[in-house]
Amino acid sequence: MKSKNIIVGNWKMNPLSLKEAEKLFADVVKSISDIKKTEIVICAPFVYLEKLKKISKKISLGAQDVFWGEVGAFTGEISAEMLYDIGARYVIVGHSERRAMGENNNDVNKKIKSALSAGLRPILCVGEGMRDENHEYLNFVKIQIEECLNGVSKDSISKIVIAYEPVWAIGKEAPHPATPEEFREMNIFIKKILSDKFGVKEISKVRIIYGGSVDDKNAEGFIKDGKANGFLPGRASLSPEKFSKIVKICEALSK
């Protein structure tokens, strides 16, 4: 059975209050009430997750990061078990913003294993900072995937979502946005890496989504031409109107 396409809203460090978070979440729930063929996840700040869980079961909740330790002297950290216990079912790992703070592939690998052990589904972010004429960026992404998934079993790979985020195409300073054709190239490349490592059959349910400044204007192209299995919107997820448009585009194109 084919996995549903998935839209993962990453709220990042927004909004400022629980009251605002509850309103935003409730508005999103209302705006996607008729969605049936698309899975929707909201990755809100950790402090809001338990409250948001009580608003609706239609949307799955996710965390934006996790620590690899189970319990112990890790001041300020939050374990996968804690996240699962308060209602999270997904967790973003290896986001470019975390990597920019010093997180490496080995850190991400430990987080993925910890998340899987606790019953969470990791959303693994990969992507290059720049594209070079010699195509070294392909090797960069290959190393990211191989090192981050080192030691992950064949039975577990279908539980992982791969989010490709071309760092060079994100933000106001980006030279230009990524195209559906560029994503499709990377989509095929990622599937080749995964099939070599885990086998064609095992990766058939792995969803590869796009996470680089997606909005309601480019979403259709990334699904139709890029063959994306969904999206990881950031800024657009803070607007119920924009977020629901992306979801509805994905829903309309779901088979």
SS3 content of the chain, % helix, strand, coil (to 5): 40, 15, 40
Task: For tokens 């977020």, name the residue.
Answer: 243
Catalytic residues: 95, 165
Distance CA(122)–CA(43), nearest Å, equals: 12
Task: Kindly state the tokens that stand for 83.
Answer: 């996240």
Calculate the CA 90 to chain-centre distance. Answer: 9
Q: At what angle do helices 105-118 and 136-148 cross, to 10 degrees?
A: 40
d(CA 13, CA 87): 19
How far apart are alpha carbons 240 and 6 in whole angstroms?
16
* Helices (H), ranges, 170-239: 180-198, 219-224
